[in-house]
Amino acid sequence: MVYRALTIAGSDSGGGAGIQADLKTFQELGAYGMSVITALTAQNTQGVHGVYPQTVEAVEAQLEAVLSDIGVDAVKTGMLFSAEIIEAVAGKLQDYQVNNIVVDPVMVAKGGQSLLQEEAIEALRTALIPLATVITPNIPEAEVLIGEKGIRSLPDMEEAARKIHELGVQYVILKGGHLQNEEATDVLYDGESFTYLPAKRVATKHTHGTGCTFAAAIAAELAKGQSVPEAAKVAKAFITCAIEHALEVGQGIGPTHHGA
Ligand code: PLP
């Protein structure tokens, strides 16, 4: 059996985040990985030094090539950069009636560089999120999506998850890593009830690519036929282990270890 997983995201030349993190994660979890590159970044452990978006034509051509021939069992989207790219991606996913869509609403790199244009946020809300099976915002991303600041507790996270769910996505996984708690607890909401995904907080600065890796792990598990709650549990264990074994490469924030 071949489980086909596609990442639609940005390339991280440093190998820790984006397309590279996603493909390594797919491989580790037993899925066949494919990629549609939306932007190149010149990047290392010290930050993003340049962003080079691809044309809409190039993004559409990659999608068409993959979807018309190989097909997909699950898709993960990461850095999409512009409203035009988001609309092109949403259009092709609809044309090919793709199921199992994991949207990681990537906005800003840990170093502060923007990976999504301000005016693209509305396209994310209206064109892509309603197609998604699951969305995996962290707290700052959730605050942008709901247009309110101030998520500081698990009850605040539940409230925000409810609001994000109203955008038309089936499941919301709001990641709690930015809370200053001892545990890094994520909140999974299916429109009716909440499930907590707890994990002990790992003391490390090497967390580059955590969000990408987590969302890619969910996509790999969905490709293998798991439900979203099952996929989320596996992905949480995978990312916790990857952070525990993060690599000290480069001089800045090292990457999580996908093969841990
Ligand atoms: N670069 C690319 C291409 C990404 O897709 C992402 C993911 O969110 C990042 C960088 C961000 O990485 P970091 O985990 O360091 O914020």
- Helices and strands: H and E segment counts in the chain: 8, 9
Identify the H or E element spanning 48: strand 47-53
Residue 228 Cβ < 6 Å to ligand 1: no
C-alpha–C-alpha distance, residues 130 and 141, integer Å: 17
Residues 6+ away with beta carbon under 8 Å from 192:
none
- Bridge-partner residues for 134, per DSSP? 102, 171
Contact 229, 41 (CB under 8 A): no
Atom of ligand 1 nearest to the CA of 39: 3
**Cα-trace Rg, the chain:** 17
Would you name the residues annotated as active-site residues?
175, 207, 209-212
Residue 45 Cβ < 6 Å to ligand 1: no
C-alpha–C-alpha distance, residues 188 and 168, integer Å: 15
**Tens digit of pLDDT per residue, the chain (260 long)?**
999 999 999 999 999 999 999 999 999 999 999 999 999 999 999 999 999 999 999 999 999 999 999 999 999 999 999 999 999 999 999 999 999 999 999 999 988 999 999 999 999 999 999 999 999 999 999 999 999 999 999 999 999 999 999 999 999 999 999 998 888 999 999 999 999 999 989 989 999 999 999 999 999 999 999 999 999 999 999 999 999 999 999 999 999 998 87
Strands in 4-12's sheet, in edge-to-edge order, are 47-53, 32-44, 4-12, 74-77, 101-103, 134-135, 171-174, 186-189, 194-197
* DSSP secondary structure letter of residue 253: S
Question: Considering Cα of 39, then 54, then 137, then 89, what sign does the dihedral take?
Answer: negative
Contact 46, 112 (CB under 8 A): no
Distance 138 CA to ligand 1 centre (A): 13
C-alpha–C-alpha distance, residues 225 and 211, integer Å: 22
pLDDT tens digits, 192-209 = 999 999 998 998 999 999
Residue 41 Cβ < 6 Å to ligand 1: yes
Residue 208 Cβ < 6 Å to ligand 1: yes
Domains and CATH numbers, the chain: 4-244 (3.40.1190.20)
Q: Residue 178's CB: how many other CB atoms inside 10 A?
A: 15
Residue 12 Cβ < 6 Å to ligand 1: yes
C-alpha–C-alpha distance, residues 169 and 182, integer Å: 29
What's the complex ipTM? 0.92
Cα 210 to the center of its chain, rounded Å: 9
For 37, 71, 110, the CA distances from 5, given in Å and listed in that order, are: 14, 9, 26
Distance 21 CA to ligand 1 centre (A): 9
pLDDT tens digits, 68-77 = 999 999 999 9
Spatial CA neighbour of 174 closest among 136, 145, 211: 136
Residue 134 Cβ < 6 Å to ligand 1: no
For 8, 90, 107, the CA distances from 119, given in Å and listed in that order, are: 20, 16, 12
Pocket test for ligand 1, best of 7, 8, 12 (most atoms within 8 A of CB): 12
CB burial of residue 9 (10 Å; 0-12, 13-18, 19+): buried
Q: Report the nearest-CA residue for atom 2 of ligand 1.
A: 18
Pocket test for ligand 1, best of 20, 46, 115, 206 (most atoms within 8 A of CB): 115
